[in-house]
Copies of this chain bind each other. A is one copy, B any other.
């Protein structure tokens, strides 16, 4: 949601240009500030950004994105398991990748060909492959002595061949895990190559999903659930797999979100209604909208502003339907995504918190620059959760 000043908007940011009466109301009645999700100038990925917003220091707890993606896709992971994210992709007969997304195929139709996988040389290792959204899959390896310090098979570009997965440190565990992964990818390739679905896609002139590329090997973050840290019951209202994985690591319940798509066509008010319907069950609800980030990566100014205005409608619904005498709402972004650069940037994000006992300040509009003038000042991402839990009286006393 956060951005830099845009020339086409007369030097305003999208947040400043958008019509956002509900967000402005939260800023006007609340206290405001700016926040470096990680640290000043450091662009965060979605994984570490959302870990930080839930109060976890990624420099301490983060162990790769793969496991977050797998947890978010609903796969279970035990201690010692590792996971990847992957793509169903298309290669030509010589093994050269011609589409890293296999025409954005819906991978779920391939699920039946990706179950009960046996690794001939490693019968003691179990592999679980789960298609998630579009061409994406999550993969979990279960077994003893696995390491997440291994590289990608995804070359991250078309017109190249899949890479052999290599160990990233000198450990025997990494060497063995790389070998296991290479064998798994070979098995998956053979399964896909011969499957009737791909035969049909070829006949229909579609790109076959004949290989799986993996990247971002990881283990679950080393975190304690928020329930243990603060004694709160929490829920996640999101559809993006990595955000759901972060929330699941934090021990939040993942709620069903009808109408949530993870894109610019998502139904933001439907998400607000999920909060409204479930809030009596929870102390904390983490509502994440992905669409503004997508619009930024596409460099689409109009779409980003429209998305921000949809977020404003969501905020309106929350303000009108929650009991604001006993509810705090914090509105922020997990990172700045620059429309101009079409990528994440390390500029701070705005923050506004409304609720019965906040120290209301003089800020009257929600935006990157207006919030910078607020009473919260400039904080780090990991500060947010203790600040919110403090309003609920849930932060344990330090000292005595």
Q: Which residues of A contact B (CB under 8 A)?
A: 4-5, 11, 13, 34, 38-49, 58, 62, 65, 216, 338, 340-341, 343-347, 357-362, 368-369, 372-373, 375-379, 383, 385-390, 393, 395-400
When the two chains form the complex, which single residue of B41, B369, B389 contacts A359, counting CB atoms closer than 8 Å? Answer: B369
B41 in contact with A399 (CB, 8 Å)? no
Beyond A372-B377, A390-B345, is A397–B45 a contact (Cβ under 8 Å)?
Answer: yes
Q: Which 10 A-B pairs have the closest CB atoms?
A: A41-B386, A45-B399, A48-B399, A377-B378, A41-B390, A346-B390, A40-B383, A372-B375, A41-B387, A45-B400
Q: Which residue of B lies closest to A2 (CB)?
A: B359
A38 in contact with B398 (CB, 8 Å)? yes
B58 in contact with A398 (CB, 8 Å)? yes
Q: What is the CB-to-nearest-CB distance from A17 to chain B, in angstroms, rounded to a whole number?
A: 14
Beyond A43-B397, A399-B45, is A372–B361 a contact (Cβ under 8 Å)?
Answer: yes
Query: What CA separation (Å) do A37 and B44 show in the bound complex?
Result: 24
A65 in contact with B360 (CB, 8 Å)? no
Interface hub of A43, A397, A398 (most chain B Cβ within 10 A): A398
Question: With a CB–CB cut-off of 8 A, which chain B residues contact A383?
Answer: 39-41
Question: With a CB–CB cut-off of 8 A, which chain B residues contact A362?
Answer: 373
A45 in contact with B361 (CB, 8 Å)? no
Q: What is the CB-to-nearest-CB distance from A338 to chain B, in angstroms, rounded to a whole number?
A: 8
When the two chains form the complex, which single residue of B47, B58, B368, B386 contacts A346, counting CB atoms closer than 8 Å? Answer: B386
Q: Which residue of B lies closest to A357 (CB)?
A: B4
Question: With a CB–CB cut-off of 8 A, which chain B residues contact A40?
Answer: 379, 383, 386-387, 390
Question: With a CB–CB cut-off of 8 A, which chain B residues contact A341?
Answer: 393
Query: What CA separation (Å) do A295 and B260 show in the bound complex?
Result: 50
When the two chains form the complex, which single residue of B49, B62, B357 contacts A5, counting CB atoms closer than 8 Å? Answer: B357
A46 in contact with B372 (CB, 8 Å)? no
A368 in contact with B377 (CB, 8 Å)? no
Can you identify 25 A-B contacts, CB atoms within 8 angstroms?
Answer: A5-B357, A5-B358, A39-B386, A40-B379, A41-B385, A41-B386, A41-B387, A42-B386, A42-B390, A43-B395, A43-B396, A43-B398, A46-B399, A58-B398, A65-B399, A338-B357, A340-B357, A343-B397, A346-B386, A359-B368, A360-B369, A369-B375, A372-B375, A372-B376, A377-B377
Query: What CA separation (Å) do A385 and B341 show in the bound complex?
Result: 19
Q: What is the CB-to-nearest-CB distance from A121 to chain B, in angstroms, rounded to a whole number?
A: 30
Using A42-B386, A361-B372, A362-B373 as known contacts, list a sample of 16 further A-B pairs with CB atoms less than 8 Å apart, ordered by residue number in A.
Answer: A4-B357, A5-B360, A34-B375, A40-B386, A41-B386, A41-B388, A41-B390, A43-B395, A45-B400, A47-B400, A48-B398, A344-B397, A345-B393, A346-B387, A359-B369, A372-B377
